[in-house]
Amino acid sequence: MSRWMIGNIGVDRVAELEGPLFPPAAVFPDFDPEILAQHGDDLVPAHYAPDLGLVLGTIQSYVIRTGTKTILVDTCCGNHKERPDEPPFHQLNTPYLERLAALGVRPEDVDYVLCTHLHVDHVGWNTMLDNGRWVPTFPNATYVFSQADLDYLLDLKKMGPPHAGFAVQYDDSIAPIIEARRSRMIEADQALTPELDIAFEPGHTPGHIILKARSQGEGALFIGDVIQHPFQLYRPDWNSSHCALPEMARTARRNVLEQCIREDLLMFPAHFAYPYAFRIDRREGGYALRSQAKL
Give the rounded percent of residues in the chain with a pLDDT score beyond 90.
Answer: 91
Global pTM reads: 0.96
CB 270 within 8 A of CB 61: no
- pLDDT (0 to 100) of residue 293: 34
pLDDT at 291: 56
CA atoms within 13 A on the CB side of 214: 13
Determine phi and psi for 282, rounding to 5 degrees: -85, 145
pLDDT greater than 60 at residue 292: no
- Would you put residue 223 in left (φ > 0), alpha (ψ -120 to 50) or beta? alpha
Closest by CA position to 226, among listed 247, 246, 260, 249:
249
Average confidence (pLDDT) over 274-285: 91
The domain total for the chain is 1
Q: What is the pLDDT of residues 179-225, one digit of tens each?
A: 999 999 999 999 999 999 999 999 999 999 999 999 999 999 999 99
CATH number at 72 reads 3.60.15.10
Instruction: Mark 87-97 as b/e (b = at least 16 C-beta within 10 Å).
Output: eebeebebebb
C-alpha angle 253/254/257, rounded to 5°? Answer: 90
Name the burial class of residue 43, with classes exposed (0-12), middle (13-18) and buried (19+) by CB atoms within 10 angstroms of its CB.
Answer: buried
Query: What confidence tier does 283 reach under pLDDT thresholds 50, 70, 90?
Result: confident
Q: What average pLDDT does this structure show over 168-176?
A: 96
152 lies in which domain range? 3-294
Question: pLDDT digit string (tens) for 111-128?
Answer: 999 999 999 999 999 999
